[in-house]
C-alpha cells in the first residue's frame, strides 16, 4: 500500500488513480473552477471560448462559480459594463454567479462551497485560501481556459513541505505572523514546486481565519499552494458556518515529505513584510515607531471575524491617531452583520475608522491611494511599489492586530502592548 500525503491523496482522487507521486505529470479533473470579474481575464475567457474556439456552451457549467467582488463600488461606466457582461454570460451558460455577498476566496470557505479534499482551480493565485479547510487550490492564470473547456487541467504533482506546529500563539500574535516568519526563515523560493502542509498538535490553536490568511499568502515563499490538515476545528467551523458535515483529510502515517520543519507557536513574534517586496520579512520590534499614514484591515487575506474581533479589542474606547486613516473592510456580508451585532463596527466608527461593504478594491489602489512619501500598514496581499497609488509610497504588510495597534499610535506598534 502506498502512503500518501494530503496533496497526493487529493490529486490521486481527482485523477482516478490509486496513487500518485511528486514529479509525475498528469491530467486532473478539478471539482470546482472559480473566477472573478477582471479585465483581460474574465472577459478574455469568454472571448476565447466563443470567438476563437467556437464553443457556444461550456461542458460543465455546474462546476464553475463566478464572483463579482472587484471593481466595487463602481467608479467608471466600463466597470458596470464588465459586471453586466458577466451576469449575462453566466445566465446564458448556466453558471452560478455570486454578487454582493463578499470576497470570493474567503466566501467559498465560509459558506462551505469548498470542502476538505476538494481540488479547486482559479486564475488567481490567492485561491490557495481554500487550503484552510484541507482543500487544494491552484491559481493557473490563463490556463484556466483548459479546464473550463475540457473539464481537465494538467498538473505536475508538487512535493510537500510539511510544517508541524506545537504550542499556542501569544495574545496579539496571529497566523499572518507565522507566515511572515516562514518568509524570514525560508526565503522567496523556499517552497518552490512544493505545497506547504500544516499539521501537528498546535494546529488546533490556529483558527480557521488564521489558517485562511496563512494559506492565502502561500506565494510569498514561492509555494505552489498551501493547506492545513483538517481536524475538529475544521469540522466545527464548517458545521457552524455552513451546516456542512465534512470528513477529515490527513496524510497517511509513513507519507513522504520533501522537507519538514517545526514551529512552536509560542515563539512566533509579530513580524512584518516591508517594502519593496513580499520576501522582505522583518520582526515588528525592529520597526516600532515608524510613522504611518494609512491602515487597511480587509482584502482576501484578512477581514474575517477573528481579525475584526482583535482589532476591535485594541480600538475599544480609543481614538485613531489624528491624521491617520484606517479602513476596515469585512470580507463578507455575513461577517459585516456579525461584527455589527457584536459591537465591533460601533467600536471602529467611534475610533474614527472608515467602514466599507465587502470589496477587493482596497488591495490595489482602486478604493484608496497613497501620495509620494506616505506609508501604509495593511493586511493586503502585495506591497510592490505602486500597489496603492504612488510608486514613491511604502506598504508594510501586517496582521489585523498590528494594523489596529498602529492606528492608535500613528506609527508601527506592537499589538501585544495594546491588549
Partner 1 sequence: MSNIFKGRAAWVFEDNFDVDLIVGVKNISTTDMTMLKADVMQSYDKEFKESVKSGDFLVGGSNFGYGHPHPQPMMVMRELGIHAVIAQSFAFPFFRSELASGMALITCPDALKKVSRWDELELDIEKEVLINLSTGERLTLDPIPPVILEMINAGGVVNYLRALTADHPG
Member of 192, 235, 244, 355 binding partner 1 (CB under 8 A): 192
Residue 205 or 280: the one with the smaller Cβ distance to partner 1 is 280
Q: Which of 164, 279, 288, 340 binds partner 1 (CB under 8 A)?
A: 279
* Number of neighbours of residue 167 by Cβ within 10 angstroms: 15
Separation of alpha carbons 402 and 396, rounded Å: 10
Question: Which of 3, 18, 21, 55 is in the footprint of partner 1 by CB under 8 A?
Answer: 55
Assigned C-alpha cell, 125 = 493565485
State yes or no: residue 56 binds partner 1 (CB under 8 A). Answer: yes
User: CA torsion angle for 317, 320, 326, 331 (degrees, to 10)?
Assistant: -10
First to last CA, the chain: 51
Q: What residues between 205 and 264 interact with partner 1 by CB under 8 A?
A: 219, 222-225
Q: Is 282 near partner 1 (CB under 8 A)?
A: no
Residue 69 to residue 71: CA distance in whole angstroms:
7
Q: Which of 222/352 has CB closer to partner 1?
A: 222
Kindly state the smallest distance separating residue 333's Cβ from partner 1, in Å: 26
**Site residues for partner 1, window 96-155 (CB under 8 A)?**
125, 138-143, 145-146, 149-150, 154
The site that binds partner 1 (CB under 8 A) totals a number of residues, namely 46
For partner 1, which is the closer residue by CB, 153 or 413? Answer: 153
Asked whether position 81 contacts partner 1 by CB under 8 A, the answer is: no
Region near partner 1 per CB under 8 A, out of 2-10, 100-108, 273-281, 291-299: 273-281
Q: Retrieve residue 363's grid coordinates.
A: 488591495
Choose the binding region for partner 1 from 204-212, 231-239, 324-332, 386-394 (rule: CB under 8 A).
Answer: 386-394
- 168 is a contact residue toward partner 1 (CB under 8 A): no
Closer residue to partner 1 in complex, CB, 141/337:
141
Question: Among 48, 235, 355, 419, which residue sits at the site for partner 1 (rule: CB under 8 A)?
Answer: 48
Closest CB to partner 1 among 138 and 348? 138
381 sits near partner 1 (criterion: CB under 8 A): yes
Q: Tell me the three-class secondary structure of 23-57, residue by residue.
A: CCEEEECCCEEEEECCCCCHHHHHHHHHHHCCCCC
Residue 59 sits in the site that holds partner 1 (CB under 8 A): yes
Among 17, 156, 204, 262, binds partner 1 (CB under 8 A): 156
Q: How far is the CB of 156 from partner 1 (least distance, A)?
A: 7
Q: Choose among 82, 103, 86: nearest CA to 39.
A: 82
**Smallest distance from the beta carbon of 186 to partner 1, in angstroms?**
11
Report the residue number, 336 or 362, with the smaller CB distance to partner 1: 362
Q: Which is nearer to partner 1, 56 or 341 (CB)?
A: 56
Q: Of 90, 382, 397, 401, which one interacts with partner 1 (CB under 8 A)?
A: 382
Does position 290 interact with partner 1 (CB under 8 A)? The reply is no
The contact pattern for partner 1, residues 3-42, with x = CB under 8 A and - = no contact, is ----------------------x-x-----------xx--
Residues 6+ apart with CB under 8 A from 41: 35, 123, 141, 142
Question: Contacting partner 1 (CB under 8 A), which of 88, 267, 391, 417?
Answer: 391
Which residues would be at the binding site for partner 1 (CB under 8 A)?
A: 25, 27, 39-40, 48, 52-59, 125, 138-143, 145-146, 149-150, 154, 156, 187-189, 192-193, 219, 222-225, 277-279, 381-382, 384-387, 391
Amino acid at each position: 500500500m502506498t502512503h500518501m500525503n494530503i496533496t497526493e491523496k487529493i490529486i490521486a482522487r481527482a485523477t482516478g488513480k490509486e496513487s500518485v507521486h511528486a514529479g509525475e505529470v498528469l491530467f486532473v479533473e478539478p471539482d470546482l473552477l472559480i473566477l472573478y470579474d477582471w479585465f483581460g481575464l474574465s472577459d478574455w475567457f469568454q472571448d476565447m471560448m466563443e470567438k476563437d474556439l467556437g464553443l457556444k456552451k461550456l461542458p460543465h457549467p455546474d462546476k464553475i462559480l463566478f464572483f463579482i467582488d472587484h471593481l466595487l463600488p463602481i467608479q467608471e461606466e466600463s466597470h458596470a459594463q464588465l459586471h453586466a457582461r458577466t451576469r449575462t454570460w453566466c445566465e446564458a451558460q448556466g453558471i452560478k454567479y455570486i454578487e454582493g455577498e463578499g470576497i470570493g476566496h474567503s466566501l467559498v470557505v465560509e459558506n462551505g462551497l469548498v470542502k476538505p479534499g476538494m481540488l479547486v482551480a482559479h486564475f488567481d493565485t490567492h485561491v490557495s485560501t481554500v487550503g484552510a479547510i484541507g482543500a487544494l487550490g491552484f491559481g493557473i492564470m490563463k490556463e484556466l481556459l483548459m479546464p473550463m473547456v475540457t473539464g481537465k487541467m494538467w498538473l505536475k504533482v508538487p512535493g510537500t513541505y510539511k510544517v508541524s506546529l506545537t504550542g499556542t500563539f501569544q495574545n496579539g500574535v496571529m497566523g499572518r505572523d507565522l507566515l511572515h516568519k516562514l518568509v524570514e526563515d525560508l526565503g522567496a523560493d523556499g517552497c518552490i514546486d512544493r505545497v506547504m502542509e500544516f499539521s501537528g498538535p498546535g494546529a488546533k490553536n490556529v483558527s480557521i481565519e488564521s489558517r485562511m490568511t496563512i494559506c492565502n499568502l502561500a506565494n510569498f515563499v514561492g509555494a505552489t499552494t498551501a493547506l492545513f490538515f483538517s481536524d475538529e476545528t475544521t469540522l466545527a467551523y464548517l458545521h457552524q458556518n455552513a451546516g456542512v458535515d465534512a470528513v477529515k483529510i490527513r496524510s497517511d502515517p509513513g507519507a513522504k515529505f520533501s522537507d519538514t520543519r517545526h514551529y512552536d507557536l509560542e515563539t512566533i513574534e509579530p513580524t512584518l513584510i516591508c517594502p519593496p517586496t513580499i520576501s522582505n520579512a522583518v520582526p515588528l520590534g525592529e520597526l516600532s515607531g515608524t510613522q504611518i499614514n494609512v491602515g487597511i484591515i480587509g482584502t482576501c487575506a484578512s477581514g474575517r471575524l477573528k481579525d475584526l474581533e482583535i482589532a476591535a479589542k485594541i480600538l475599544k474606547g480609543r481614538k485613531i491617531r489624528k491624521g491617520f486613516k484606517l479602513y476596515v473592510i469585512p470580507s463578507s456580508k455575513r461577517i459585516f452583520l456579525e461584527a455589527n451585532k457584536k459591537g465591533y463596527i460601533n467600536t471602529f466608527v467611534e475610533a474614527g475608522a472608515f467602514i466599507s461593504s465587502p470589496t477587493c478594491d482596497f488591495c490595489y489602489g482602486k478604493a484608496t491611494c497613497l501620495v509620494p512619501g506616505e506609508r501604509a500598514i495593511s493586511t493586503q496581499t502585495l506591497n510592490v511599489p505602486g500597489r496603492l497609488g504612488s510608486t514613491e509610497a511604502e506598504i508594510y504588510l501586517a496582521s489585523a492586530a498590528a494594523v489596529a495597534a498602529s492606528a492608535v499610535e500613528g506609527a508601527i506598534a506592537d499589538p501585544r502592548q495594546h491588549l
